[in-house]
Amino acid sequence: MMITIGGGSSMDTGKGIGIIINNPEFADVRSLEGVAPTKKRTVFTIAVPTTGGTGAESTINYVVTDVERKRKFVCVDPNDIPDIAVVDPDMMSSMPRGLTASTGMDALTHAIEGYTTAGAWELSDCLDLEAIKLIGKNLRKAVANDPDGREGMALAQYVTAMAYSNVGLGIAHSMAHTLGAVYDTPHGVACAMMLPIVMEFNAEATGTKFKDIAEALGVDTTGMDQAAYRKAAVDAVRQLSIDVGIPTKLEKLKEEDLPFLCESAAADACAPGNPKHATLEDFEKMFRKLM
């Protein structure tokens, strides 16, 4: 039996270890990238998240950083899902403000990308929309260390994880993985910085979904046309991110790194789930908005 206690990094490390213990033919973790045909389940795992964030305690994924190749890659494998998840806001109460904010914005990115991804459907939509409402109500309070806010965020990150794990994400995650691998940008910070930029890019491919997102974040959309409610959804996300102290620029981002960043984001496992195809030029334009 294995008990994994910690944030996404600890739980994901446990997932990779458990898979390799029971499927030793995949001893090189790089061979597990993407959908790996493992035959056996991981060792019996109890996962205890301590960030309010990744939802890795219930997802089908784990993420590995390949330091040599400056890549973070995603492994998708139903055999890695922990047997038991203990989701307790008390385990998250020691998080400092910045970590609460960034991991909470990661959960919002899961909910919004999961709600608008190509594979979204009625059941995942229920979970993602509820998570967006919970995050809109609770993230600012959680950052202020309010116990109700912490509880709401513990629930929200778990609820959306059950959805996105089944339907996929999008290019905010592809670009966040790349920034994490190249600059060591914390995952939640990278997601939060990319989310409104990617929402603006995706807006035209999302039907009326941004109206639901704006309303879930507390915006009164009465009388708004499509362009207005789409803008309102992006503005509400941007405001929440600013309120919880997430930066909007990444000073480390260098001009000469752009070709690698774009290639790497385009090759990421989350890219095909995006509602709108992004070319290398599109990725470059979006990365440039962080400069």
Instruction: List interacting residues with Fe ion (CB under 5 A).
Output: 106
Q: Does 94 bind ligand NAD (CB under 6 A)?
A: yes
Site for ligand NAD in 103-122 (CB under 6 A): 103, 106
Contact partners, residue 16, CB within 8 Å, separation at least 6: 29, 32, 62, 64, 75, 80
Q: Residues 150-189 vs ligand NAD: string with x where CB under 6 A?
A: -------------------------------------xx-
Closest to ligand NAD by CB, 157 or 211: 157
> What gap in Å lies between CA 114 and CA 169, rounded to an integer?
5
State in angstroms the smallest separation of the CB of 59 from ligand NAD.
3
Nearest residue relative to Fe ion (C-beta): 106
d(CA 105, CA 199): 14
Indicate which of Fe ion, ligand NAD, none lies near residue 94 (CB less than 5 to 8 Å, by partner kind). ligand NAD
Contact 176, 69 (CB under 8 A): no
Interacting positions 35-54 with ligand NAD (CB under 6 A) = 50-51, 53-54
Q: Does 194 bind ligand NAD (CB under 6 A)?
A: no
Question: Shortest approach of ligand NAD to residue 9 CB, angstroms?
Answer: 3
Cα separation, 174 vs 169, in Å, equals 9
Does 99 interact with ligand NAD (rule: CB under 6 A)?
A: yes
Long-range contacts at 119-127 (CB < 8 A, ≥ 24 apart): 119/166, 119/167, 119/168, 119/273, 120/167, 121/167, 123/163, 124/163, 124/164, 124/166, 124/167, 125/163, 127/159, 127/160, 127/162, 127/163
Q: Is 12 in the site for ligand NAD (CB under 6 A)?
A: yes
Q: Does 63 bind ligand NAD (CB under 6 A)?
A: yes
Candidates 91-99, 126-134, 136-144, 216-224; binding stretch for ligand NAD (CB under 6 A)? 91-99
SS3 at position 222: coil
Nearer to Fe ion (CB atom), residue 42 or residue 174: 174
The DSSP code for 137 is H
- Shortest Cβ distance from residue 110 to ligand NAD (Å)? 7
Nearest distance from C-beta of residue 82 to ligand NAD, angstroms: 10
Asked whether position 273 contacts ligand NAD by CB under 6 A, the answer is: no
Token pair recorded at residue 47: 């996962």
Q: Does 145 bind ligand NAD (CB under 6 A)?
A: no
CA distance to 30, 66, 210, 262, per residue, from 7 (Å):
22, 19, 30, 27
Contacts of 38 (CB under 8 A, 6+ apart): 19, 22, 23, 26, 32, 77, 79
In angstroms, rounded to a whole number, what is the distance separating the alpha carbons of residues 286 and 125? 26
Which residues sit at the interface with ligand NAD, rule CB under 6 A?
6-10, 12, 50-51, 53-56, 59, 61-63, 92, 94-95, 99, 103, 106, 187-188
